[in-house]
């Protein structure tokens, strides 16, 4: 009797197996877009560099509206701003490129090169620049990287996680709005990342450049909302006595919070 029950239970278990196997193809189908996406980006490294502040900006070669470049050679001994855009002929991107183009003389005064990136090809960039110049009443002079295959966007992690999880029909992820400020030694000094729906503040990028360059030259730090001409902060590592020798007048609010004239 016991053996008969055991045999029946075993038989019922075997009958249940095909039902589990039948579901397996559904799991494979769900993953197919991700597999297609991986094939599309087979040449992109699986592990991206850790883009921490102070790390070396990854080098790359790319075609731009001003010709082919080696990024590190492009930087040379200058400060550089690399900023990305989701796509050509889109409204927010058009306003951003126009604003940066108008401020080129300000960045030039600070010895800063600008280079943009948009996830389209060179032909598209060329036509889009005409729109930017018309809308903003300016002339775009800095290069714009053609990154239709998203290689640079992946190298600099300019990709929205939502798009990685929900790849569109082309198997290509959306590029977000990123800003990288890179110093002459090729070190990343600042990163800003914005969603595609939000335009950047070009004046803030310029303010950060002023702060970084002031800190490097004078050995100071800058408080919130600091602008050129405002008082700067004496770093905690410098004693008040040494600060007075170095900077002259020092205004002490707290032992750890001391201001001096810029």
Q: Which of 75, 82, 93, 206 is catalytic?
A: 93
3-state secondary structure (DSSP) of residue 179:
strand
| Measured CA distances, 160 to 16, 45, 55, 169, 195 (Å) | 42, 17, 22, 16, 8
Our answer to whether residue 93 is catalytic in this structure is yes
Q: Which of 157, 77, 79, 78 is nearest to 117 (CA)?
A: 157
Q: How far is CA 90 from the centre of its chain?
A: 18
Determine the Cα angle at 52 with ends 46 and 56, to 5°.
Answer: 85
Determine the Cα angle at 96 with ends 174 and 158, to 5°.
Answer: 30
- Catalytically active residues, by annotation: 93
């Amino acid at each position: 009797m016991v053996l008969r029950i055991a045999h029946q239970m075993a038989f019922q278990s075997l009958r249940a197996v095909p039902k589990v196997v039948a579901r397996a193809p559904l799991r494979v189908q769900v993953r197919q877009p991700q597999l297609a996406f991986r094939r599309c980006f087979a040449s992109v490294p699986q592990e991206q560099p850790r883009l921490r502040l102070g790390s070396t900006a990854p080098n790359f070669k790319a075609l731009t509206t001003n010709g082919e470049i080696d990024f590190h050679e492009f930087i040379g001994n200058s400060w550089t701003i690399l900023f990305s855009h989701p796509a050509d002929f889109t409204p927010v991107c058009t306003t951003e490129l126009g604003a940066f183009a108008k401020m080129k003389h300000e960045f030039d005064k600070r010895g800063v090169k600008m280079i943009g990136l948009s996830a389209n090809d060179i032909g598209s960039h060329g036509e889009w620049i005409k729109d930017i110049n018309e809308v903003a009443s300016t002339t775009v002079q800095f290069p714009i990287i053609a990154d239709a295959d998203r290689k640079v966007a992946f190298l600099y992690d300019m990709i929205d996680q939502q798009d990685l999880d929900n790849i569109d029909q082309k198997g290509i992820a959306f590029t977000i709005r990123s800003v990288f400020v890179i110093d002459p030694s090729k070190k990343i000094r600042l990163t800003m990342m914005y969603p595609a729906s939000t335009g950047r503040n070009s004046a803030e990028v310029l303010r950060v450049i002023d702060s970084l360059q002031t800190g490097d030259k004078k050995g100071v730090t800058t408080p919130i909302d600091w602008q050129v001409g405002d008082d700067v902060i004496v770093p905690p590592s410098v004693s008040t006595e040494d600060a007075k020798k170095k900077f002259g007048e020092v205004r002490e609010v707290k032992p750890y919070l001391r201001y001096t004239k810029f």
